A and B are shown apart, each in its own frame.
Chain A
Amino acid sequence: MSLSFAKSGAIDQGVVITALKSAFTKLDPRQLTGNPVILATEVVAALATVSAVVAISAGQSASFPVQIAVWLWLTVLFANFAEAIAEGRGKAAADSLRATRVTTKAKLIIDASRNAMIPTPAHELVPGDVVLVEAGDVVPADGEIIEGVASVNEAAITGESAPVIRESGGDRSAVTGGTTVVSDWIKVRVTSQPGSSFLDRMIAMVEGADRRKTPNELALAVLLAGLTLVFLIAVVTLTGLGAFSGITLDPMVLGALFVTLIPTTIGGLLSAVGIAGMDRLLKVNVLATSGRAVEAAGDVDTLLLDKTGTITFGNRMAVEVVPAPGVRPDAAMRAALIASLADETPEGRSIVELARNQGITAEVPVGATSIPFSATTRQSGLDADGKSWRKGAVDAVLRSLDLSEGQVPAEMRQAVDRIARSGGTPLAVSENGALVGIIHLKDVVKPGVKDRFADLRRMGVRTVMITGDNPVTAAAIASEAGVDDFLAEATPEDKLRIIRTEQAKGRLVAMCGDGANDAPALAQADVGVAMQTGAQAAREAGNMVDLDSDPTKVLEIVEVGKQLLITRGALTTFSIANDVAKYFAILPALFVGSLPALGAMNIMGLSSPQSAILSAVIFNALVIVALIPLALRGVRYRAIGAAKLLSRNLTIYGIGGLIAPFVGIKLIDVIVAALKLA
């Protein structure tokens, strides 16, 4: 079981069928109280139905009122469908998660001294209980390992099938309910309340069960409700103004005008946009604990990034070997290679790699003994046939060679200085008791990181690198990676402090972390991304969890947040801009009977007043369906700076929103007229 379902973009048939059904159940007005625009549409649809029924029972021609009523209902249904289909994708994910809930009994330890256990259902476990989990058992609840070490398969949560090691003490002591112990055993102290485990929260999140309106959604809902009121006033007062002009207005037509004017497009798609945002996060394997956090991600001003793992690969790598005077470069390289052959550390392997890239190879000499690294010698290497190769900390190697500072060749001293200044680590290499060269180990910046930081800068996001390195090393990496600022020799307390300072300036801060000592900073940050492999405290403190435990993910999270806000703004702008054309369709149709001069306003040349009204209503309903894919997918985000982004989106959704309905309504009118529907 994995989250791979979330990675497939396609909407499968089952989801569509469920969504169609729930579009109808959502017609219940109680479910629409949070959406005044669609609720108003439903009220008008109901009134139109009544007047259609009245027309039929009075034996009048009812084709027009029936069609209007049908399309008004379809408008509501389309809006419901949009929401349902967004929810449906989450529900499918939730169902498969639910299947991993523990049904087997947990081994509850009731007397630690005698290892006495009683089988207990997982849902009866309370925080503080200690359970034994052995190979093959499913971890019954979230908890902290207090004893033992085991490899755990966390595929149920992360979709990653390779087991990870979990052990008591330190930052790897958290286990998640629903994961499986593959080997060995552990004793786990339960930390989660029944029903509020990580898995439960995850299910609730993807299902959207406790979906609350985010601050921005709330503001937008106020705006939409306000606009709905404005149009209610504009339409209702038309009765009096019309009466003065000798026009009796059909209430049904006024209702149709009202529905086409109120922002049904964004009103119908608003919650779908929000759910789809969470869904897009899920697709990159990030779980947000609230929609508010996703929104905040779009607003982030400052990104705190741990150097290791985010900006650099986390391991220093050899990039060059500087030969000692009189030593051929390939000989120096070769000595470094042999000294590293038995070294399985990433640094050692990187030296082997570097040599291979330069076409230099060597086999382990027969009968060689490897000299492992130790804290006292601070060097490692090989001894064979009376020959020896060593590499290690410069001062340690020099000491073992009995070389004083003054005896070291000037070129070598300069090389050491240069490497240290550039933020690298110099290692000395010796062969048979002679210094042959200096290895340059370097923190390697991940490819592409610099471009992404540049993108972020264009969008006004500052990046701050946090590292435990000394300021010289930190500055070198910072300039190579292109971050805006860095904090060297940082402690976890420094993170908290820097977040507070940034927030005091009114900035929103995002960070990611995994250690228990990151927890305060994760809680303080506006967007705190905890790694799934991290400590339980960190996962509790953050408002997002990255299931892949990839710190670079925070960049994608920011983009998803921005995309969410952009999509909302684009649909709102489009919705409002649409109204201009609707006036030109419906107003002449309303008034032309009594005031023929207003026929001049029918600039679209719509075939008849009834057709004009019907076409506007149909367009209004269909545009919701047409925009569902956009709402789910989101408007594409481009890091081109706010001004360019605005002018681009304003052109597409503002100007486009002005023009599109003129074309659309005209087309529908042609069809309506051809089919003799009105």
Chain B
Amino acid sequence: MDWRGWAEIVFTIALTVAVGWPLGIFMARVWAGERTWLDPVLKPVEALAYAAFGVDRSKGQNWLGYAAAALAFSAVGFVLLYLQLRFQNLLPLNPQGFDGLSPHLAFNTAVSFVSNTNWQSYAGEATMSNLSQMAGLTVHNFVSAGTGLAIAAAMARAFAADRGENLGNFWVDLTRTTLYVLLPLSIVTALVLVAAGVPQTLLANVEASTVEGAKQVISLFPTASQEAIKQWGTNGGGIFNVNSAHPFENPTPFTNLIEVVSLNALAFGTVIAFGRVAGARKEAKALIAVMVILVGVAAAAIYSAETLTPQPAMISAGISDAPSNMEGKEVRFGPAASSIWAAQTTGASNGSVNAMHGSFMPLGGGVAMFMIQLGEILPGGVGSGLYGMVVMALLAVFVAGLMVGRTPEYLGKKVEAREIKFAMLAVLILPLTILGFSSIAAVLPVALEGLLNKGPHGLSEILYAYSSAAGNNGSAFAGLTANAPWWDTTLGIAMLLGRFAYLVPVMAIAGAIAAKPKLQPTAGTLPSDSPLFVGLLIGIVLILGGLQFFPALALGPIVEHFQVLAAAR
């Protein structure tokens, strides 16, 4: 641990927010249907898309219509992707001649990509054809991110509305965010990554002879393009099994910086766009502050855990001045870059990794897991982070807001029984899915077969897997062999619940919020842009999340941490 590490963490977060800010301003224009400088090129494409699918862009939808459109779109996407993966052996662009996926793996993977999770029960370089990667997975990397952003746009309009029910048109929002935001960002980023040494090719493999004369097969793939949207769309599913720790996905500290910034920037930008559309710019800044503080604290906690926790193995080997824990970390990145990445990817439901979280010190891995369990709102997935944070803000305002002696309001909308009901429904999904499945898997022999470790670390592997799935994160705590019917199926269900069972109450909240009159703040209104509110929201996020998962974490990372301390003594 040294000052350069701390500086790297601070710099990375600051740069991420700085990049996200203008993106948010731009995205607000895209949501509002205003002219952008990309119009000359993209307007015809947009018009063509509407014509092809018969979208009447002037027609708005109420919350039910909007939610139904999003669900129908995802359902169709799921079926098509499932079939494509099952039968990729019959389809072109399969130079390596990979087989079709097993039913459970195809189910798991299709759910995974449709739900913006990108949990990978497979190793990409040994499973997926080029067509599956490009026309299957990458497509969903775009549109699942677009779906999340569209719902954030609907939520923003709900807060702007005054006794309305029109939340916009899902098809238009999906088309415009994908076309004007995700696509240009990805193209530019892919080109920069190619320039920085990331491969982009449709060639199969390169064969090389090693110094010792052995033959080595090196997989290449169109990596750069996949890498760009993997980060911008908070997808996280890498071409290669080890994800951004792989030298082709992430060859240098420079590409590492680009990737870690693009991992969170758009989620911060979504908050800015929300603030502009909802007419709550100051309040949006408060939400950003909550996210930045918590992600910063998480990065600091992981960095401290990785550099300060005594390592029993080193001590027993007689190495007194042991360096930081480097197991599972890339030497070219080191502990600081690995810590900030871990905090940002688990705070963001991205799930790409540049180091192996399962090899972190217990507290480091525990913090990463806790970040997911807090609901993927720091800053969360693109779109989903925003609406998750809005749910938490509604709860925070409701609990503490009563203490100013009025029915609580958030952004000029009264928070009443209907919103609280749906907010609690949404909040229940994570503990039910994560703790429910983990508790069963922890005693089910067929589940335990896939587990490498016993004891607290084994429990962490189970908890992490379901947290990652239900939180739509997608990162893994190595040690779990997940490509088996039990894990593929239950993790698939967890991903479905985490995305779509959450989405419906969120849309219901948007509908209820839109229907309310928009109130002007008075001196009696709870301010939702003050440092006090930031503190309050942080408190609610931590306490609510902590109370749900603390007992489980105590049996996993926390007890392991104390065991490590005891062993080091």
Contact = CB atoms under 8 A, between A and B. Distances in A.
Interface residues of B, number: 69
B417 A218 contact: yes
Interface size class of A (residues with CB under 8 A): 35 or more
A641 interface: yes
Contacts of B440: 240
A646 B162 CA distance: 27
Contacts of B431: 230, 233-234
A233 B438 contact: no
Contacts of B439: 236-241
A240 B558 CA distance: 18
A505 B517 contact: yes
Interface string A256-273: 000001000000000000
B523 A234 contact: no
B86 interface: no
Contact of A233 (B404, B436, B458, B463): B436
A506 interface: yes
A309 B549 CA distance: 59
A231 B400 contact: no
A226 B403 contact: no
B548 to A, nearest CB: 6
B549 to A, nearest CB: 8
A553 interface: no
A24 interface: no
B380 interface: no
A327 interface: no
Contacts of A598: 554, 558-559, 562
Contacts of A460: 406, 522-525
B315 interface: no
Given A218-B417, A506-B518, A565-B406, A229 B401 contact: no
Contacts of B398: 219, 223
Interface stretch (B89-97, B480-488, B539-547): B539-547
Contact of B403 (A459, A591, A650): A650
B532 interface: yes
A34 to B, nearest CB: 14
Contact of B459 (A244, A506, A641): A244
Given A237-B436, A591-B554, A643 B530 contact: yes
Given A226-B427, A233-B435, A234-B431, A565 B402 contact: yes
Interface string B544-566: 00111111101100110011011
Contacts of B554: 587, 591, 598, 601
Interface in B384-430: 395, 398-407, 415-417, 419-421, 424-425, 427-428
Interface residue SS majority, chain A: helix
B196 interface: no
Contacts of B462: 244
Contacts of A649: 400, 403-404
Given A244-B458, A569-B400, A457 B563 contact: no
Given A233-B435, A234-B548, A237-B552, A573 B455 contact: no
A583 B404 contact: no
Contacts of A218: 417
B452 to A, nearest CB: 14
B402 A245 contact: no
Contacts of B517: 505-506
Contact of A231 (B407, B456, B527, B547): B547
A580 interface: yes
A576 interface: yes
Contacts of B424: 222-223, 225-227, 229
B526 to A, nearest CB: 5
B559 A591 contact: yes
A562 to B, nearest CB: 3
Interface in B526-542: 526-527, 530, 532, 536, 539
Given A245-B455, A600-B562, A643 B532 contact: yes
A642 B405 CA distance: 8
B432 interface: yes
B523 A573 contact: no
Interface stretch (A294-302, A334-342, A613-621): A294-302
Nearest to A575: B399
B555 A245 contact: yes
Contact of A241 (B459, B520, B527, B562): B459
A279 to B, nearest CB: 18
A611 B516 CA distance: 51
Contact of B438 (A227, A230, A241, A653): A241
Interface in A574-601: 576-577, 579-580, 583, 587, 591, 595, 597-598, 600-601
B438 A566 contact: no
B75 interface: no
Interface in A206-259: 215-216, 218-220, 222-223, 225-227, 229-231, 233-245, 247
Interface residue SS majority, chain B: helix
B406 A645 contact: no
Interface in A532-577: 561-563, 565-566, 568-570, 572-573, 576-577
A330 to B, nearest CB: 49
Contact of A238 (B523, B532, B536, B551): B551
A96 B514 CA distance: 49
B94 to A, nearest CB: 41
B400 A215 contact: no
Interface in B158-205: 162
Given A507-B519, A565-B405, A587-B551, A223 B399 contact: yes
A642 B199 CA distance: 57
A505 B291 CA distance: 33
Contact of B443 (A231, A244, A457): A244
Given A219-B415, A460-B524, A646-B526, A240 B438 contact: yes
Nearest to A296: B407
Most buried by A among B399, B403, B424, B440: B403
Nearest to B546: A580
Most buried by A among B417, B438, B463: B417
A140 interface: no
Interface in B283-317: none
Nearest to A586: B551
B478 interface: no
A239 B442 CA distance: 10
Contact of A645 (B395, B403, B546): B403
Contact of A219 (B404, B416, B443): B416
A647 interface: yes
B555 A595 contact: yes
A646 B403 CA distance: 6
B405 A563 contact: yes
Contacts of A583: 547, 550-551
Contacts of B441: 240
Contacts of B404: 566, 569, 642, 645-646, 649
A673 B461 CA distance: 39
Nearest to A596: B566
Given A240-B438, A506-B520, A507-B519, 19 more contacts: A215-B407, A222-B420, A223-B424, A225-B424, A229-B424, A230-B548, A233-B435, A233-B548, A234-B552, A237-B435, A238-B551, A240-B443, A241-B438, A244-B462, A245-B456, A580-B546, A587-B554, A595-B559, A645-B405
Interface of B: 162, 395, 398-407, 415-417, 419-421, 424-425, 427-428, 431-432, 435-436, 438-443, 455-456, 458-459, 462-463, 516-520, 522-527, 530, 532, 536, 539, 543, 546-552, 554-555, 558-559, 562-563, 565-566
A-B CB proximity, top 10 nearest:
A460-B524, A569-B402, A240-B439, A226-B424, A562-B405, A460-B522, A506-B517, A597-B562, A237-B439, A244-B442
19 contacts: A219-B419, A219-B421, A222-B424, A223-B424, A237-B436, A237-B438, A241-B551, A561-B405, A568-B402, A569-B400, A573-B399, A576-B399, A580-B543, A580-B546, A580-B547, A587-B551, A643-B532, A649-B404, A650-B400
